[in-house]
Structures are given as C-alpha cells and as structure tokens.
Structure 1
Amino acid sequence: MDTTMPPRRHNRFARPTDRERMDAGFDARLHADDVAFGARDAALLRAIDATGSLNAAAERLGRSYSRAHGRLDDLEAAFGPLVERTRGGASGGGTALTEDAYALLARFERLRAGYAAIAETTVAVLSGTVVDRDGELGTVETDAGVVRALVPPDADAVDVAVRADAVTLHAPDDAPSADATSARNRFEGTVERVESGDAVARVRVDVGADTALDALLTVDSVERLGLRVGHPVVASFKATATRATPTER
C-alpha cells in the first residue's frame, strides 16, 4: 500500500463529473471513461510533486520514463490536465501538479479511507470442515456452501474469514461463470441491508448461512446495480483472499 503523505497543497475538493464513476471492486479506484486511477497512479503524481520532474519521479518509483510518460498521457486524456510543464529558465524547467491533480488525489484518499475504515471491522466468519487439500489451498464445507480458501495444514475444523473488501457483487444475469474468473467462490443471495456513507457503502448479503457476507461498494455502484433490500445478487471472492484458521473449541 502506498504510504506517502497526502499532497501538501490545495485542500479544495472537486465534485465528480457526470462521466466519472467509482469502481465496485475491492481495490480503491476511480474511473473516468475506460481509465482506472489507482494507488500506483497516486504514487506517480505524488512523486512528481515531490521531485518536480516526471523523469525523477519515474526513477524514484523504479519505473521506466517511457511507461510513466505513457501512463500520465492516459490519465490526462481521461481526467483532464494533471501536470504543468515548464522549460528552461533559471531553475532549468520542471513538472508541477495542477489543481485538478490535487483534487483527484484528495478524492482518491477519501475513497480509500472509506474502504479501509469499514473493511478493518467487517469480516464474515463461516465455520466448516476441510474436505480436500491442494497445497496451501483447501476445500471447506460450510453452512453457506463449499468455499476454497487458504487453510492451515493440521486442522480439519476451521473458521473461514471473508473480508468485505474481498467480496464483489454481480447482478445474477451479468455474473461471470466460475470458469471465467479467478474468483471461484460464488454464492447466490439476496441483499439484507445497505449502509451508505458519503462515498462507500456496505452491503450485507444473505447467503443462507448463520453469518451473512458483507461487501464494500461505492455509493455510485450501489445505485448503478440498483441494490435494494431483497434484491438478488451473486457474491464472489478469490480463494487466495480467504483465510481459514483452526476452530477454537
């Protein structure tokens, strides 16, 4: 995770434009057109701000200049002007962030903070029995159904923890098949609760077990998917994002 400090100037926040939407996946990202702005992009802008040079920023991050330049062009085509370049002069020229760039960074940090604050306290626990193993991964039978997860080597009775930021929700008609995605854990259910904040919402899904699954989405994504109490959904999550621990007796 990017641990650099927030930008040191411009505390003004920009409202999202009509063409921008936030991604419903568990990674914090902002979308404009078909371009996703994520943690690597935020790190690039902050490095430019700190060094005053795209070339120096790329070097600091261990990236090639050509790839950093190409990525910046893609971001600017989607989000608008993000840097101002000057040439020559007493200072030798350089690159500085625009107000749009600072506003974009601020919006991204608000989104990521919203995800983190909820995800840290939202974990569903499904109890079950390991019925098969394939290296570190195992198949666990739970009340909700079969779950693939990282399992301990010497335990059969386990608790499977599923973090809310690892769960993706799909409309039933649009859900990819299990063979078409790496998120092999899939459960059909209905929306039990929707708790919306300023940017992030927590959606609780009844999957027919004692413990419901929670998922984190942006508020915009909740509206786009039309999620309401009683709405049918498909919840999916990756085995490698799911960890089982021995059940305490």
Structure 2
Amino acid sequence: MRRNASVAGGATLLGAELTLAGRLDARFFALLEAIDQTGSINRAARTAGYSYKGAWLLLESAANLASQPLIETGTGGKGGGGTRLTPAAFMLLDAWRRLQAANRAFLHEQEAWLNQLPAVAGLLRRIAMKTTARNQLAGTIDAVVPGPVTTQVSVTIPGGEQVVATVTTAAAGRLKLEPGKEAILLIKSSAVVLVLDFAGYSLSARNQFSGTISRVERGAVSSLVVVTLPGGTNLTASVTNDAVDALALAVGMPATAVFKAYSVMVAVAG
C-alpha cells in the first residue's frame, strides 16, 4: 500500500492515493466493480474511463502477476454470455474496500489533529488554493477603509511590504474584511508593469515595490520576469519579448514592480 499525503481544496487538508502492489489503484478497482455490476467488459471499461483494449490489457497483466484469472467469460446458452469476476477478484475487491474505509478513517483522524494546529492548518490551506493568478501573496489585513462604493484594504506581506487593494464595498462586507484577518492576494502577471527608470516622473499606481530581477523565463511571445523584493517576496510580470530585448532585462538588474490597487484580488478563508 502506498500513501501519498497531499493537500486538497476546500476544508480538506489531507488526501491520499491508495495503491495495492504498487499498481492496483482506485481506477483498477472501479473497473472490477463495473464488471461485477454490468457483466460486460465493454460497458465496464467506459464506466471506469478505459478503452476496451486498455481494460483487457490491464486485466490480463494483473492476472499474469497474480497467477490467477480475475475474470471469466460465458459463451452463451441458457444463462447467457457475459463476464464475471472470479473468487480471486472478489477477494481483492473486498480487501480494497476494507482498506479504503480504514484509509478514510485514518485521514479523518489526522485532519482533526491538524485542525488543532491553527498555524499549520492555515499554512496548508494557503498552499492548497489553486488559481491561474501567477502572483499569490499571503499576508495580514492591517487596515480597511470603507467608502460608499469601494473599500481600500491594506495587507502586510512577509518582509513588511504593504500591498493595497481596492474592492467593492459590497465585496468587503461579504468577505467580512477586518484588521488582523489573514488574506491571500492574487495579482495576474499581466497586471504587473516593470519600471527600470522613473526619469523623474511619479506614477499614480498605488503599489510600487523595488527589488532585483532574479529570473527571466523566455517564451515564444512573452517572458516571465521575476523581481525579488528585499524581504524575499517574488513578484512576476509578463513582459513581451520585444520589451525584454529593448530594455535588456537581465538577472541582477534593479527594477520596480508596479500594479494598480484595482488589479489586486483579495481572498479570505471561510
């Protein structure tokens, strides 16, 4: 049995992939269950997400390793044709179901223990969040300034930098934003502008963070340019390759990551 701990979405902090003999997984046993229910490999394969050929190859490979057939086929007659599980297959299926139940009970018990450790549980939930936004920053809300239509939210991130987000007042109320609450900030890389030299000008964008370019990842059309702030936070900007070449962007160069408060999305637990 192999158990791989992982973090899942929502309130679940633990997940596990149960595998027998290093290769018999949930999908394989779903195939066995479908054969038992339908009496047809063709229908069972579709149910379990295999091709007909793929299902046969898997069953034959497992039977060879077990040195016992896992299915038997009928040839018609009074009882009709079809496919049935052998006693060896039922034995495996029963063991799988028992182990699955024990595995779920174990995970439930361990998750209850994790939830008694707020710092660890909070860390896992932050890591668990899945989004396409390239920049995901965890921090603590230190100020909420409501207005008739929009609300300004200030969040301090590790390193001491303060990021300002502007959200609708309705959203701020719905999320119950308040000082001291943990939050995750989402900023698309396309919303981040890099400035190398302000040339005496000042920008209206509320968020401006100076750092050093630590990585330039070139793509077919655009590049991802990472700026590392003094506190260790990384901000990624999506920059066209033409701009990378024109500005001669390179690792080690000082740069300022700039983005508007309206470009920052705020997420909170609950």
Q: TM-score range by the shorter chain?
A: 0.3 to 0.5
Larger relative contact order (Cα-Cα within 8 Å, sequence gap ≥ 6)? 1
Q: Quick check: which one's strand share is greater?
A: 1
Q: TM-score, normalised by structure 1?
A: 0.46
Greater helix percent: which structure? Answer: 2
